[in-house]
Structure formats: structure tokens, C-alpha cells
Amino acid sequence: MARPSHVRSAVAGLLGERHAWTVDEAHAALRDRGVPADRASVHRALTRLVADGEARRFELGPRAHFERASSHHEHVVCEDCGEIAAVPGCVVDDAAVARRTGFAVTGHSVTFSGRCAACSR
Amino acid sequence: MARPSHVRSAVAGLLGERHAWTVDEAHAALRDRGVPADRASVHRALTRLVADGEARRFELGPRAHFERASSHHEHVVCEDCGEIAAVPGCVVDDAAVARRTGFAVTGHSVTFSGRCAACSR
DNA sequence: ATATATGCAAACGCTTTGCATAGAG
DNA sequence: CTCTATGCAAAGCGTTTGCATATAT
């Protein structure tokens, strides 16, 4: 297969199902759906989607995670179940950093940790 | 040598010289100071200092960085020269995250990117 | 026929660990 | 003597890439 790209479209579909995926998670999910693909292909598909602006990559702990490209948001990870949720809106103050450090701030990477509603109970 | 720990005290000394060190940077710095040590030993020294509460480890890009343990702060990295500076004070709003996500927020990891004063000019 | 996608396997970069040795107490 | 630290080398882990093959256009 070439243009439609078997693996890539399947991977793109995954991005709509859940917030964040690691390469291995996506790989396993495809296998479960009867779409076996090589890890490398999944990795390349995700990398391609990022290059095309359809996905975004972020690092969380020791491995890379991918999510569908959308409006800017931060992430919060549940320490118990590992669930990753988006934090809507802006919760950091770039201007304050610029004021305090003398740096011209161009971006930030933020990850919150905590416990999701289910694990809190 | 055993107790005084040659390498560890040398590494601890480095932490006072600059804000952040990678294992390789510390390794090279020791070499420059005539204190040759194996990378593994430097790594272990840093890991030990972290365990002892004297240092703190944080991930930045593909590699781990170490700094002297002190009051909580965030980091800002210069995109040009790579300099890492501390951002004093709190610039994120944990409570807002809790409110918006339903997670009980216990911590956060924040890194700002931008250009330092020197590179801005 | 040409350009892209895939699988397989290996290369890489950084971290971590096993093991034998050396040195401090 | 005993216990920790060090060096050396190798193992791990996740990411990335080279290459030959397969497939859509």
C-alpha cells in the first residue's frame, strides 16, 4: 500500500479515541483491532502525522506520547492509573517568567501530576 | 577510597558552581579540574546525592539534569545557547488545574523555553 | 515505472547495572 | 576484615534508521 497508507490512517483513527498514546500503546491497540503493524511503522506513522500537523508529540516520563493536534493545553497524569487528561485553558504565566528571568519566553512545557477523580476515592 | 568519596564530593562541589549539569557535563568538568572519574561513577554520585536529598534531578530534552536541592522553582532554557536558569517563585496554578480537571493535583513539572538576555540581543 | 509504505533488523543515545578491584575505617 | 566507591564493560530501553520488498497510482 502506498498513498492511503494503511497504518497511518489506522493510527490517525486511534488519536480520536483517546487523549494520548505511546508508540507501544498504539501498536498494541492496532493489533487488538486486527490491524497488525510493525512498531517502526507505527512510530513512522505518528512522526508523519506530527510533521503534517495532524498530531502533536510530547514527552512524558521515559517515553514519547502523541495526541491529536488541537488547541494548546497542558496535561495532568494520574499517579495511580496513569490516565492522561488535558488541562483546558492557560495555567502558567509566561510574562511573569520573562519579568523574573530576563529571558524572552517563547513557550512552555507543563505536566501536572495527581490523582484522577476515580482514583481519589 | 570509601567514605569521603572522592568523586561524590567533587560532584557535589560542581553543583555549587552552576545551576544545572548533565552527567556528561559534570564528567567533563571533573576531567578539566584534574579529577578524572568514570561516567558511571559520576552518574552514581549524582544519583546518590539525589537519594540523600542534596540534589534534585529533572529531565530536559533527551537527558537528565541535576541541580542542587533548594527551594522549588521552575526552569527556563535558552534555545540558542542552552543556558538553564531558575525561575523563582510560583508561576503555575495547581488549584486551577484541580478545578478544571477533577484531579487532586500533587505536583507539576514545568520548563519554559526562550532566549536569554545575551542571546536576545 | 515511480514514489511511498512496511517489516525486519540493526544502530543509536542515554541510563543503569554486574562484577572485580581498590581503598577507607 | 568489612564495607563502600570506582572503573570497566555490558545490558537495557526507547527511539530512530537502513535496506529490501511490496503496493498503490
Q: Are strands B84-87 and B74-78 parallel, antiparallel or unpaired?
A: antiparallel
Predicted pLDDT of residue B121: 86
Do A102 and B117 lie within an 8 Å CB cutoff?
yes
pLDDT at B102: 96
pLDDT value, residue A1: 53
CA A3 to C1' D25, whole Å: 8
User: CA–CA distance from B6 to each of A19, B12, B31, B54 (Å)?
Assistant: 48, 10, 13, 16
Q: Which strand C nucleotides have any atom less than 7 A from protein CB atoms?
A: 3-10, 13-18, 22-25
- pLDDT of B4 > 80? The answer is no
Distance from CA of B115 to the nearest CA of A (A): 5
Average of pLDDT values for B53-81? Answer: 95
Which tens digit of pLDDT belongs to each residue from B20-41? 999 999 999 999 999 989 999 9
Q: Which nucleotide lies at the shortest CA–C1' distance from B6?
A: D5
The chain A residue lying nearest B73, using CA atoms, is A97
- pTM value? 0.92
pLDDT at A19: 93
- Of B118, B113, B109, B121, nearest to B77 by C-alpha is B113
In tens, the pLDDT along A34-45 reads 999 999 999 999
Mutate to test the interface with B, among A74, A90, A93, A100 (most CBs of B within 10 A): A100
Given a contact cutoff of 8 angstroms between Cβ atoms, the answer to whether A116 and B103 are in contact is yes
pLDDT score at A121: 86
Q: What is the pLDDT of residues A54-72, one digit of tens each?
A: 999 999 999 999 999 998 9
Q: Is the pLDDT of residue A20 over 90?
A: yes
